[in-house]
């Protein structure tokens, strides 16, 4: 089995070195770059990687994943994020796949770390995500933000996880929320979401706290678990407040 690793990047200088170290055993590594202006590409050039500019300039993860299918040379494609690490045990499990394997795709669990602590509750583990595909069976990806693959055949599950390292400072997470909330609120607006009101915004935030912090026992991850729960609630409320703003602009025009 020969393998292409696809990594979608933009300004990932903090994470990209260790990510590339963890996948340098692959037959090829492709960086789909969205216009990095930090040291991401400078660091990447230390490795045997193909650096390719993203064709789709607007935020569209499905389009970027589909470009990965076009660019990959080999029979299997492994999508890895810049802030993820492929452990030696996961590498061994990947390399055990045979050409006549009954599965055409694999879902891989993730170990999520926030502020230096692993999150075991709140819905964060095992956090299975489909990442490894037989190229011929991966038809395409759909969905602009919460993208998902369309695959022919059976999907298996790996035992060994990816390691996902979220920022160890709160500020980058808040900046990310501002960036992504614009996109998410626009998707909701375009889908003709019911009109928002103050109580709907509050309800969405409180529902997130209940789901993450209580129902899925995020409180058992201690302070970091509560911080993540509150952050997710904050992000949800920002998205719906921006949706309300879009709806008001439409109404006033």
Is residue 145 pLDDT above 80, yes or no?
no
Q: What is the pLDDT of residue 4?
A: 98
Which pLDDT does position 207 carry in this prediction?
A: 97
Residue 63 structure tokens: 């389009």
Given a contact cutoff of 8 angstroms between Cβ atoms, the answer to whether 120 and 217 are in contact is: no
Structure confidence at residue 108 as a pLDDT band (50, 70, 90): very high
Residue pLDDT, tens place only, 155-172: 999 999 999 998 777 887
Nearest of 172, 168, 161, 162 to residue 114 by alpha carbon:
168
pLDDT digits (tens, 9 = 90+) for 188-197: 999 999 999 9
pLDDT higher than 90, residue 148: yes
What would the mean pLDDT of 10-35 be, rounded to a whole number? 96
The CATH architecture to which 3-165 belongs is: Alpha-Beta Complex (3.90)
101, pLDDT greater than 70: yes
Q: Determine the pLDDT at residue 100.
A: 74
- With a cut of 90, say whether residue 178 has pLDDT above it: no
Per-residue HEC secondary structure of the chain comes to CCEEEEEEECCCCCCHHHHHHHHCCCCEEEEEECCCCCCHHHHHCCCCEEEEECCCCCCCHHHHHHHHHHHCCCCEEEECCCCEEECHHHHHHHHCCCCCCCEEEEEECEEEEECCEEECCCCCCCCCEEEEEEHHHEEEEECCCCCEEEECCEEEECCCCEEEECCCCHHHHHHHHHHHHHHHHHHHHHCCCCCCCHHHHHHHHHHHHHHHHHHCCHHHHHHHHHHHHHHHHHHHHHHHHHHHHHHHHHHHC
Q: Which pLDDT value is given to residue 144? A: 65
d(CA 102, CA 99): 9
What is the number of other CB atoms lying within 10 angstroms of the CB of residue 70?
A: 8
Q: In angstroms, rounded to a whole number, what is the distance separating the alpha carbons of residues 3 and 94?
A: 9
pLDDT tens digit string along 209-227? 999 999 999 999 999 999 9
Answer whether residue 5 shows pLDDT above 90. Answer: yes
Q: What is the mean pLDDT of the chain?
A: 93
In degrees and rounded to multiples of 5, residue 77 shows phi and psi of -120, 130
Of all residues in the chain, the percent with pLDDT exceeding 70 is: 99
Rounded to two decimals, the pTM is 0.90
Task: For the chain, give every residue range classified as CATH 3.90.550.10.
Answer: 3-165
Q: Give the confidence band of 70 by pLDDT, cuts at 50, 70, 90.
A: very high
Across the range 138-142, mean pLDDT stands at: 96
The Cα–Cα gap between 72 and 138 comes to 12
């Amino acid at each position: 089995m020969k393998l292409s690793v696809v990594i979608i990047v933009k300004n990932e200088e903090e994470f990209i070195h260790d990510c590339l170290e963890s996948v340098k055993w692959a037959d090829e590594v492709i960086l789909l770059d969205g216009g990095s202006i930090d040291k991401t590409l400078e660091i990447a050039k230390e490795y045997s990687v193909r650096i390719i500019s993203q064709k789709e300039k607007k935020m569209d993860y499905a389009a970027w994943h589909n470009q990965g299918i076009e660019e990959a040379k080999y029979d299997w494609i492994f999508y890895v994020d810049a802030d993820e690490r492929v452990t030696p045990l996961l590498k061994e499990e990947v390399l055990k796949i045979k050409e006549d394997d009954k599965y055409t795709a694999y879902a891989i669990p993730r170990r999520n770390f926030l502020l230096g602590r692993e999150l075991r509750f709140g819905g964060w583990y095992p956090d299975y995500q489909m990442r490894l595909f037989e190229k011929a069976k991966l038809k395409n990806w759909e969905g602009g933000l919460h993208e998902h693959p369309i695959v022919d055949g059976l999907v298996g599950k790996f035992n060994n996880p990816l390691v996902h390292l979220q920022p160890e400072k709160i500020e980058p997470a808040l900046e990310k929320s501002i960036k992504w909330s614009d996109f998410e609120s626009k998707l909701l607006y375009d889908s003709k979401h019911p009109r928002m009101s103050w109580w709907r915004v509050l309800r969405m935030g409180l529902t997130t706290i209940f789901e993450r912090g209580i129902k899925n026992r995020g409180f058992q991850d201690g302070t970091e678990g509560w911080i993540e729960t509150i952050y997710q609630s904050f992000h949800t409320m920002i998205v719906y407040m921006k949706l309300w703003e879009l709806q008001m602009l439409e109404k006033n025009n």
